[in-house]
A = this chain, B = another copy of it.
Amino acid sequence: MKLYGYFRSSAAYRVRIALNLKGLTPEGSYVHLQKAQQRADDFLALNPQGLVPALVTDQGDVLTQSLAIVEWLDETHPSPPLLPADAPGRARVRSIAQAIACDIHPLNNLRVLNYLTHTLGVSDEQRNGWYRYWVDLGFEALERRLSREAATGRFCHGDAPTLADVCLVPQVANARRFKIDLSPYPTLVRIDAACQALPAFGAAAPERQPDAAA
């Protein structure tokens, strides 16, 4: 397997965590988003969307979209499972993951922040306000859910990490990088800390990737 990623990409970070939890160590390839390497012809030939991550399997299939990749990993390498065994539990975990991957992250990634600054000409203050607004809106709802629902355990769902935690940890890291006040979200902070105690999460952190130094 070969993973195309970028140290700061939250979506690539999710896949790194899932690979580590499964004990898999694919070859790494680094696509520098701030140098726009994702729009180079060779990468577009691999992934027409021009986004990381992309995972090339041992069979030569090119998989894209972080959540689809994690589901594929879970189907092809079932142990340890990243989704619960029951359908309502799977729906819960996927909905937490998607509340992050569909409703927070897409609004706050690099290409969107660049559009706000360079095309719409908004000020740094307005751009930071945009970032904060969508993180807070999403985190407030997640905090309410996770603090109230009985299915929440040491992790987002029970006492083992799932796809939900795989999405939560990169989003919390991103929020910290943008200096978001996390004190209104004690449950998210507690679960993030439980994840960080596992080597699979720690080893996936952006600052520990080979392309972080460059």
Please list the residues of chain A having a beta carbon within 8 angstroms of any beta carbon in chain B. Answer: 48-51, 57, 59, 61, 63-65, 67-69, 71-72, 75-76, 87-88, 90-92, 94-95, 97-99, 101-103, 105-107, 112, 115-116, 119-120, 122, 126, 129-130, 133, 138, 141, 144-145
Instruction: Give how many copies assemble into the complex.
Output: 2
Q: A207 to B106, alpha carbons, bound, how many Å?
A: 28
By a CB distance below 8 angstroms, the chain B residues around A126 are: 120
A141 touches B65 (CB 8 A): no
Q: A145 to B130, alpha carbons, bound, how many Å?
A: 32
A-B pairs, 7 with minimum CB distance:
A68-B94, A65-B95, A106-B106, A65-B98, A48-B144, A72-B91, A49-B141
By a CB distance below 8 angstroms, the chain B residues around A92 are: 68
Partner among B51, B102, B107 whose Cβ is within 8 Å of the Cβ of A112:
B107
Given A106-B107, A115-B133, A75 and B87 contact (CB-CB distance below 8 Å):
yes
